[in-house]
């Protein structure tokens, strides 16, 4: 879950982020990750478990994802998780995954649209000692390996990784299905969602959240705003076309 | 696990730049980081070291010296020919553990981000992603890395107090390389590479490197959004009339209308163009991040509330399919001579 980036503002006095008024949405590439998991389940069987670290309000998003067809969900939620950078985030998620006992594939989104670090998937591969494929747009399973097409800007490579593996999936790589609302309703408040706290994961306070983070926000500053003229062309279609042609003219002579 | 605080920071010395190579050529972002690294290393009183992994890369070491490095570490090995996440992570982690640098900068490329994310956890240290500004804190001598958030409206300045090296991945195209100095000399050292086939759990079966058109440096560019309905004909016609390149928003790449190299935005290309004409794009923060360095932005959208207009110099409210054909007529006869 991430706040819609356009709706987060900087409080000019406290220099902190104001996310309170921002609407939350599912992180878009994570929907593609879930769709990837559901298709692999359809092809090979198995179960799809959702795992997310976040506040209790994330539950309703997990219920939506259960409605898309996931089998169960684990919400890692504890006040001491707050303020985590990617180091304790990946550690906490890794502990949760280890507690599941069996896991062949950990499928993530390429990056979160608020932090945009893309560091959690490689971090997970390290903590879990699994193989890693990042930025995949096609994922298939063959025996004990996962085959994926990894995008590299305009280039790509085909990778074969031993399982268990962590795979991150790029946004737009498939068409995520719509949730089945009967199933969402069934999931609501049910024990399909379990909540685990730090103690359930055997994590100590100094290893998680803000305390377990190596990066520190020194300060928040307003970005240099790009000054644009925001000049609206007036009038009807004909006038707009003429004015637009005129606006383009200096560039024609360049 | 290395709990923050246990570390003896003063054991860590040196300012390192990881130089990514592809098919035996250094990527521009590494040279850009050497340029900025030169200035910062001098300020911190550190030696500037370039680290290059690959096969048969001696010439690249010389190149790094010309672009400002004091010394170069080369890891030359057949299993390092192209990027492999397992091999590169192991070799970099070994070199860092043995030599203990204070700072490590890497390019925020696909491979750079993959590698950096693993190294930070393996080495228990802090990593800042997609940095666009770097400076040294006068008081603490720590590296300060600024990261734009939320479409660039906010900059978070991040530091790593406990944990070494202090790591950042830096966006390509932000810093300028130095002019190469052909008489500059320095030490080029080959490091021992301990690598076995069994260290590699993820194998590259096929690699296709497509030489990409660099739309970032186009003087004039027409960028199509979903409002064009994927109809590139009108877009191409306007581009032809203006002698402009073309680019697209991400969803048009995802549905296969244009190749990835034409995508503008935070996960695509940043434009440095004199003129950008945006046709039917809503102005999502991921997209407008790619317009920040453009001189003039003209946007056409049928929704007068579209956020793209906040990021534009000339705003045209209207339907692309009505305005463009008329505009093309209007421009006819005014076509520039090149
Ligand atoms: C991790 C991540 C990374 C991303 N990176 C990028 C990136 O690098 N680049 C990028 O572009 N996006 C990126 N995105 C996607 C981004 O968030 C937006 O979804 C995308 O930019 C929207 O594209 P669009 O404006 O073309 O489409 P839409 O948002 O659908 O906008 C279409 C616009 O066209 C207008 N329109 C429709 N018909 C007409 C008409 N006939 N005439 C005139 N106007 C019309 C509409 O009013 C609307 O404003 C990323 C998303 C994520 C989650
Ligand atoms: N708190 C979290 N809970 C669950 N998954 C996460 C969390 N943070 C990051 N991820 C996963 O890691 C991916 C990359 O995120 P990031 O490294 O933050 O850019 C996301 O797309 C998610 O799949």
* Residue closest to B278 by CA, chosen among B324, B240, B241: B324
CA of A144 to the centre of ligand 2 (A): 25
pLDDT (tens digit per residue) in B19-33: 999 989 999 999 999
In this complex, is the C-beta atom of B246 within 8 Å of any C-beta atom belonging to chain A? Answer: no
Q: Report how far apart, in Å, the C-alpha atoms of B280 and of each of A56, B64, B229, B308, B320 are.
A: 38, 43, 9, 9, 7
CA of B307 to the centre of ligand 2 (A): 27
- Ligand 1 atom with least separation from CA of B320: 42
Q: Which band of pLDDT confidence, cut at 50, 70 and 90, is reported for residue B2? A: very low
Return d(Cα A133, Cα B254) in angstroms, integer: 20
* pLDDT score of A13: 60
What is the phi/psi pair of residue B264, to 5°?
-95, 140
- Nearest ligand, CA of residue A106? 2
Q: Do A120 and B117 touch (CB under 8 A)?
A: yes
The whole-angstrom distance between A215's CA and the closest CA on chain B is 5
CATH 3.40.50.1220 boundaries in chain B: 215-331
* pLDDT score of B110: 93
Class of domain B9-199: alpha beta
Q: Do A122 and B114 touch (CB under 8 A)?
A: yes
Q: Is residue A193 part of a domain?
A: yes
> Which of A117, A214, A245 minimises the CB distance to B162?
A214
Q: Is residue A241 part of a domain?
A: no
Q: Which band of pLDDT confidence, cut at 50, 70 and 90, is reported for residue B214? A: confident
> Which of A85, A153, A253 minimises the CB distance to B260?
A153
Q: From 2.60.130.10, 3.40.50.1220, 1.10.10.10, 2.60.40.1170, which CATH number describes the B215-331 domain?
A: 3.40.50.1220
Q: Is residue A199 part of a domain?
A: yes
> Which of B126, B203, B296 minimises the CB distance to A159?
B203
pLDDT (tens digit per residue) in A58-116: 999 999 999 999 999 999 999 999 989 999 999 999 999 999 988 999 999 999 876 77
In this complex, is the C-beta atom of A213 within 8 Å of any C-beta atom belonging to chain B? Answer: yes
Question: How many other CB atoms are found less than 10 A from the CB of residue B195?
Answer: 20
Tally of structural domains, chain A? 1
In this complex, is the C-beta atom of B120 within 8 Å of any C-beta atom belonging to chain A? Answer: yes
Span B129-135, average pLDDT? 93
Q: Is residue A22 part of a domain?
A: yes
CB B196 within 8 A of CB B221: no
Is the CB–ligand 1 distance for residue B302 below 6 Å?
Answer: yes
Q: Do B202 and A133 touch (CB under 8 A)?
A: yes
A50 vs B256, more confident: A50
pLDDT above 60: residue A15: no
CATH number of the domain within which A79 lies? 3.40.50.620
pLDDT above 60: residue A159: yes
Q: Is residue A232 part of a domain?
A: no
* Residue closest to B268 by CA, chosen among B173, B204, B133, B148: B173
CATH 3.40.50.620 boundaries in chain B: 9-199
In this complex, is the C-beta atom of B240 within 8 Å of any C-beta atom belonging to chain A? Answer: no
* pLDDT score of A244: 96
CA of B252 to the centre of ligand 1 (A): 9
A247: which chain B residues are within 8 Å (Cβ-Cβ)? Answer: 298, 314
Q: Please tell me the pTM assigned to this model.
A: 0.87
């Amino acid at each position: 879950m991430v706040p819609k980036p356009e709706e987060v503002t900087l409080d000019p006095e406290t220099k902190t982020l104001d996310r309170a008024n921002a609407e939350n949405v599912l992180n878009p590439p994570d929907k593609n990750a879930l769709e990837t998991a559901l298709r692999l389940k359809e092809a090979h069987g198995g179960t799809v478990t959702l795992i997310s670290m976040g506040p209790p309000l994330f539950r309703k998003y997990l219920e939506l994802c259960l409605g898309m067809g996931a089998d169960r969900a684990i919400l890692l939620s504890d006040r001491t998780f707050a303020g985590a950078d990617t180091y304790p985030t990946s550690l906490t998620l890794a502990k949760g995954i280890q507690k599941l006992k069996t896991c062949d594939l950990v499928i993530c989104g390429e990056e979160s649209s608020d932090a945009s670090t893309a560091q959690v998937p490689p971090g997970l591969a390290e903590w879990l000692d699994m193989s890693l494929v990042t930025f995949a747009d096609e994922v298939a399973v063959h025996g004990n390996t996962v085959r994926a097409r990894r995008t590299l800007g305009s280039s790509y490579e085909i990778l074969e990784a031993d399982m268990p593996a962590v795979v991150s999936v790029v946004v737009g790589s498939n068409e995520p299905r719509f949730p089945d609302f009967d199933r969402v309703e069934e999931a609501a408040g049910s024990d399909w969602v379990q909540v685990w706290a730090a103690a359930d994961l055997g994590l100590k306070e100094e290893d998680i959240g803000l305390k377990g983070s190596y990066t520190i926000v020194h300060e928040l500053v307003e970005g240099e705003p790009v000054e644009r003229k925001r000049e609206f062309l007036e009038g009807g279609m004909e006038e707009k076309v003429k004015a637009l042609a005129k606006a383009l003219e200096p560039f024609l002579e360049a | 696990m290395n709990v923050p605080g246990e570390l003896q920071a003063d054991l860590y010395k040196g300012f390192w730049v990881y130089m990514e190579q592809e098919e035996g050529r250094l990527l521009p972002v590494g040279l850009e980081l050497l340029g900025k690294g030169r200035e910062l290393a001098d300020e911190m009183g550190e030696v500037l070291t370039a680290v290059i992994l690959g096969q048969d890369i001696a010439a690249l070491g010389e190149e790094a010296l010309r672009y400002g490095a004091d010394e170069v570490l080369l890891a030359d090995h057949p299993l390092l020919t192209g990027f492999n996440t397992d091999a590169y992570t192991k070799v970099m982690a070994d070199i860092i553990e043995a030599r203990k640098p204070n700072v490590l900068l890497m390019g925020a490329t696909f491979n750079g981000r993959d590698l950096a994310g693993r190294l930070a956890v393996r080495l228990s240290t802090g990593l800042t992603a997609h940095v666009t500004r770097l400076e040294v804190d006068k008081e603490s001598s720590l590296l300060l890395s600024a990261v734009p958030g939320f479409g660039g409206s906010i900059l978070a300045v991040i530091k790593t107090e406990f944990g070494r090296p202090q790591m950042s991945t830096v966006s390509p195209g932000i810093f300028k390389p130095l002019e190469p100095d052909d008489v500059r000399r320095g030490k080029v050292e080959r490091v021992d590479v301990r690598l076995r086939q069994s260290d590699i759990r993820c194998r590259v079966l096929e690699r296709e490197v497509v030489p990409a058109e660099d739309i970032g440096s186009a003087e004039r560019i027409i960028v199509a959004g979903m409002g064009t309905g994927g109809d590139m004909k009108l877009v191409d016609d306007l581009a032809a009339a203006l002698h402009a390149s073309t680019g697209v928003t991400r969803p048009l790449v995802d549905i296969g209308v244009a190749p990835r190299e034409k995508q503008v935005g935070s996960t695509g290309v940043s434009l440095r163009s004199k003129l950008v004409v945006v046709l039917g794009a809503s102005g999502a923060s991921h997209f407008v991040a790619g317009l920040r360095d453009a001189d003039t932005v003209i946007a056409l959208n049928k929704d007068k509330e579209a956020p793209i207009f906040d990021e534009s110099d000339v705003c045209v409210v209207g339907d692309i399919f009505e305005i463009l054909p008329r505009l093309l007529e209007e421009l006819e006869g005014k076509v520039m001579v090149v």
